[in-house]
Amino acid sequence: MYVILTILKILGIILLVLLVIVFSVLFVPVRYRLEGEKSSPGWSEANGKVKVSWLLHLLHLRIQYQEKELDWECYLFGVPLKKAGAAVREWKKKRRKKKVQEQKERRKKAVQQKNEPEKRTAAKKKGQEKPLQIEEKTRTAAKEQKSTEKQTNPEKSKTTAPEAKKTEIETAERKQQEKEKVSDKLSRFWNRCKKIVGSILEFPGKLKKKLTNIRLTFRGFYDKIKQWRTLWNEESTLAALHFLTEKGRKLIRHVLPRKIRGSITFGCEDPALTGQILGAVAIAYPLYGKGVAVYPRFEEKILEGQLQMKGRIVVACLLWQAWKIYRNPDVRKTLKKIR
């Protein structure tokens, strides 16, 4: 009974940990912060930062662009993963080098241990050899050389065959090869002529097939355009598009930054173009609100300023909107028709 209770206790702890992880992933927001600054006329000295954090900076990502260099760092429980990874790689390299050195030393020792008894035996044999044995070895070597010379002499005598017959045979073979080459050239020329005539005769039929294929492709395109037009004008597709635009706006509002602060000074050499840009900025006023100050310059080409944006993203909200889109009957009808 005690064992069963301990097993149930462990399973309950595991389930509770899993539930905490799932709920934290779904409902704890991912916070982000964007910072940008530009003071010079060009883009060489522009700076920017992106910070993303989750669960009280348990997971923290930082991306920085400064002085034409991009740098990033990811922190887990306050530990920089990039630096930790570099340290682990260096430790692995050192460990590999040590292993290689140890293997080399072991091999050297093994070779030395093998060569020592061989050297000793060779030295003993040299000391024990007698001059008579050396003379016997030289005699056997001389005998072997004489036998090899005798074997090579009859081969030389065989090579001295009459050469007149060989020349006659070679001339006859050359004449036959020339005749075969001429016949091959004539057959190739005849085959080429046949192919040219056949291609000329087959050209009208091929042209007709290509024209019919082109006509069928155009007809297929026309039929597809008709189908898309009928599908676009249906009530279900229009309702699905309206639903998707509404949900898309909600998703964009959720993802966009909630706080924007800063100031922008811009201007073009053409005052009319500066006025058009100012009108577009005025239309987008509900997005950035009162936190951003805009200063136009109508007779100067300039773009300077600084911005700070903050926002948060909740995964559960995104999944909920996606589930609503998936369960909408109009969207499902249109997807079936497209497939």
Residue-wise pLDDT tens digits, 247-285: 999 999 899 898 999 999 988 888 888 888 888 888 888
Best CA proximity match to 251, nearest among 335, 169, 321 = 321
Q: Please tell me the predicted confidence (pLDDT) of residue 59.
A: 92
Q: What is the DSSP letter of 338?
A: H
Alpha-helical runs (H) found in the chain:
2-27, 81-128, 131-159, 164-233, 235-255, 271-283, 285-288, 315-327, 329-338
- Max CA distance (Å), the chain: 118
Q: Please tell me the predicted confidence (pLDDT) of residue 287.
A: 73
- Alpha-carbon span 70 to 63, nearest angstrom: 7
Which ranges of the chain have pLDDT less than 50?
129-130, 132, 150, 153-160
- The whole-angstrom distance between residue 178's C-alpha and the CA centroid of its chain comes to 59
Assess contact for 31 and 44: CB atoms under 8 A. Answer: no
Q: Please tell me the predicted confidence (pLDDT) of residue 86.
A: 85
CB-based burial of residue 334 (10 Å sphere; 0-12 exposed, 13-18 middle, 19+ buried)?
A: buried
Q: Please tell me the predicted confidence (pLDDT) of residue 315.
A: 93
- Both tokens of 158, joined, read 């065989």
For the entire predicted model, the pTM comes to 0.60
Q: Please tell me the predicted confidence (pLDDT) of residue 50.
A: 95
At 30, give phi and psi (nearest 5°).
-90, 115
Q: Please tell me the predicted confidence (pLDDT) of residue 62.
A: 93
Q: What are 311's strand-pairing partners?
A: 32
- Alpha-carbon span 18 to 15, nearest angstrom: 5
- Both tokens of 99, joined, read 């292993």
- Alpha-carbon span 223 to 229, nearest angstrom: 10
